[in-house]
Chains A and B, each alone.
Chain A
Amino acid sequence: QQQVKQSPQSLIVQKGGISIINCAYENTAFDYFPWYQQFPGKGPALLIAIRPDVSEKKEGRFTISFNKSAKQFSLHIMDSQPGDSATYFCAAGYIRNAGNNRKLIWGLGTSLAVNP
């Protein structure tokens, strides 16, 4: 299966709270799991990414937790701020058969609003 299922579709969090967005996948060939952040009027931008040989990666207030056995990964935003309000996309990458090319399969996105 080449799908990546993302939840929730939308999320409202109070300033200072923890935002959690979850993604699940089926294909065990995926070898790269990035999260992209998109602000209104802008294109998505890579926020943080993890490889399946690691269970957690932290960059500032953003943490990816990865559960290989459950085929799930999640983004945690600690001390959420109004400036974090954006759409977040998870994705999963795999190497295509021909030419060692790499492709991303995208989740549908989560709209996060952080109230002041």
Chain B
Amino acid sequence: DVKVTQSSRYLVKRTGEKVFLECVQDMDHENMFWYRQDPGLGLRLIYFSYDVKMKEKGDIPEGYSVSREKKERFSLILESASTNQTSMYLCASSPGNAGAYEQYFGPGTRLTVT
């Protein structure tokens, strides 16, 4: 089975802190994604990566950055956390080409910024 793991299930940070969310997948997938999920707003894509050291902005990249130094690991960085970044963060991965539509999600990290 594909496994996508996220470093923390719950995280509480203070406003202004730098926050790192880590995601690791074990199926050698080319593609990795970061989403945030808020009630009534569905899944919103923050950033995605189709290859190592490659990143592209999603729909809501402001206030976030990402890093993909190794194929299996995709990190989301909040440079200076703000209260409006309190949310559930979901990481996903998918294989390349024809399989790329099938995204496998991690369990999520619920981040609270106080």
Contacts and interface: CB of A to CB of B under 8 A. Distances in A.
A109 B105 CA distance: 16
B71 to A, nearest CB: 16
Interface of A: 9, 32, 34, 41-46, 49, 89, 93, 99-104, 106-109
A99 B50 contact: yes
Contacts of A102: 97, 100-101
Interface of B: 4, 31, 40-43, 48, 50, 90, 92, 97, 100-108
Interface SS majority for chain B: mixed
Nearest to B6: A43
Contact of B107 (A9, A42, A108): A42
Given A100-B97, A101-B50, A46 B103 contact: yes
Nearest to B108: A43
A49 B100 CA distance: 13
Nearest to A109: B42
A106 B92 CA distance: 14
22 contacts: A32-B101, A41-B107, A43-B92, A43-B106, A44-B43, A44-B103, A46-B102, A46-B103, A49-B102, A89-B43, A99-B50, A101-B31, A101-B50, A101-B100, A102-B97, A102-B101, A104-B101, A106-B42, A108-B40, A108-B41, A108-B42, A109-B42
A116 to B, nearest CB: 25
Contacts of B102: 34, 46, 49
B76 to A, nearest CB: 15
